[in-house]
Structure 1
Amino acid sequence: MSDQQPDRKRSGFKETTRVAAARDRLRDAVSGHERTESIPLNAADGRALAEEVVAPRNVPDFPRAAMDGYAVRARDTFGASGRSPEVLRRADEMAPGAAVRVHTGSEVPEGADAVVMVEHADEFGGDVEVFDAVAEGENVAPVGEDVDAGQSLYDPGHRLRPSDLGMLKSVGVREVTVYDRPRVAVIPTGEELVESDPDPGEAVETNGLTVSRFVERWGGEATYRDAVTDDEDALREAVESHLDHDVVVTTGGSSVGERDLLPEVVSEMGEILVHGVALKPGHPVALGIVDGTPVVMLPGYPVACIVNAVQFLRPALKRVGHLPLEAMPTATARLGRKIRSEPGVRSFVRVGLTDEGDEERVATPTRASGSGVLSSVALADGWVEVSEEREGIPEGETVEVANWEWSA
């Protein structure tokens, strides 16, 4: 399918681009920035590494007791049993026939090669009775059991998680070099938009707020500005003044109506990659490039805006910021009501999830149409994606419900 149609103001979208092809065009036109910074571990959660991290030391870097008990030479416990315990000398230093008290995580003294668990021994006077023989190395964590010095831990582009930070601290890393958060300018457009208390014909601006919060959740840094009116000069100035950002995203004005001026403005400033995508809701999305900066033009209807932000803005932001594009988590459910969709169009149907016993979940569409009804998204538990090859999904079929509100 082609998205390049002449005179859309009169003809509308005769042809549209499939979702995967549109994403590919945007991805191929976007490259990662090279800005980095060194930050302490406690500020690095969720950040993308810019350099390989190699362990500077072993963990543990000494033989470590894996249990509370007594450090011993294994051969001194040979034959020990409940009926015939081996009697060792309680000592502070290791020697043949000795047992040294140790605690979980403490160093095993030189000369010892095993630890008898405290519940398998009794101490009386200056002696220790051992009721269970141990093998060499038993209950001892050797040097480097967890991490070897020089071991490669993480590659560039890895998105750091809390468990990663604990690992890095354990090997002696205190700072990491990460890519700067991708900077995203969020520009709401529309002469009818107000911040609060709308008069007849006006609407409260919500798309910019929603998109800017998504940007932060996805690992970016949002610059959220006031709404711009539907005027070519004003729109041009707004886009131009934010080209120092890694991505510019606009909301509204992306279709083919008289006040939908953004695609034409961006085309004059740079290049339109896609205008019109075969998805529902929100086919009037446009994707462009101006002076090397991707411009994602989202539809003004709130539901369409969110769907397209997830499909196009999220992967663009991730690519620019060297962040992994992770799949959204899904829940399996039985479809409670038939979904209708148009062949050749990828549909995103909002659903609510309910439990009906025996751990079975049921997904019921909250609304199959109405891309301006924000509550159909805000009150939904996720969406069911219907591929271009299908003409709906019958009631009772098992479906995957994607959680688009996920933070990663």
Structure 2
Amino acid sequence: MKSHLSVIFLLATMTSFSQIGTRFPSEKKIIKDPVTGQELIFLTTKQAGDSKTYPTHPQWTSDGEWLIFRTKRANGEAVAVNEKSGIMVQVTEGGYTGTLCMAQKSMKLFFMRKGEGDKMQIVEVNLDAVFKDSQAGKMKPVSAYEHVRGVTTPEMGASGDMALDADEERIYFRIGKEEAGRHLDSNVKIEKSIGPRNMGAGPGGISSMNLKTGEFKHVVSVPFQVGHIQSNIWNPGELVFCWETGGKSPQRTWTVMADGTGLRPLYPESDFEWVTHEAVISKDEVAIAIMGHRKIDIQKEAPVEIAENGEIRNPVNPGQESNWGNTGTREKPTGLGIVNLRTREMIIAGQTKSGSGLWHVHGSADGRWAVGDDFSRSLYLIDRNTNEMMMLTTGHKQTAADHIHPTFNRDGTKIQIQSAMLSEDNRTMNICIVNVPKEWLKRK
């Protein structure tokens, strides 16, 4: 009888664990960076496979109180953590794929979920209701919170690389090669794979879905592989995306309007420039990294390893393989670039004196600050008015499962990163907040 009750209890626990609204106790811990002395606010501290949403997308909910992240602590479901209390709440049930899109006008979350066959569901979650019922301990069935707004057809080849429009009326997402090819002029030359990672071949494309009517519309097709689709969350109908090769692209950054007009390179790059990790940071600006991570004599054979899937990688630092060609050196200007979408002007906000240079970049929407990380997993803050640069934190372990990926909040007062600083295995990451220093915030 005792054994039977144990099985029932185990099953009940497993069911509860995967249910939307499940609460997890606070793990919040505040420490000082041992090198810089800056305060680091770790919102998660256990080794539970945490990772933040990519810095091309908002990290905080529209009320500024919760951060939504990916984790294994809830059977792979998405979880939100309250920045003040540290309490965590599961906000999906049934899994998701690709990008978690947090609305900035409403308390909603959007994502894709695999449906039958090759169909993809576009799902909306009412976060207000989830948080309210979770706190009250009176959760309803998942159908009370999650709503399928549309389902793609198998022919579309849709993926979870998607973005929510600023007006929250449309979702944009990547489509498969066949669907993209149907909308591409037959005279356009299709690009082949580029570099040692065997990526970048086209065609690629973007489609959209109206969240009110469910209507699908083709946005654009291009002759190369599309990646990092992001919307301008201040300007409805404006998109930024990239030519994804896993490294150096002939022309990395692109922009287009939702109706397919205005397709053009965002920052027209030269052959010697290694441009990467673009992120829309304000109504008129996009931050980019112009990498300065390679030695000038890179044409000499660099040590490589060949993975099981055939990828050629440098075992120490990414992008050092000679297969990329002689690009990304500091023979020309490099650093954290900021491109104006209206005037098309670009300025370099800053660059590290040595090392890899700034790698993943972001900026505050008010134009005061820029931020970037480097290969050492150090985080640098830049005052865009004075050009002063400060290391905020370091020591987030190069052995980490991923990079720290800094992202500003909407107010430009704090930066979210992911860090392996506290991990015993030197790989598992946690969610961490780094505030802009008070003395910098007081500056006019």
- Please give the range of the TM-score, normalised by the shorter of the 2 chains: under 0.3
- Structure ID, larger Rg: 1
Q: TM-score, normalised by structure 2?
A: 0.23
Q: TM-score, normalised by structure 1?
A: 0.24
| Greater RCO (Cα-Cα under 8 Å, separation 6 or more) | 1
Considering fraction of residues, name the structure with more helix: 1
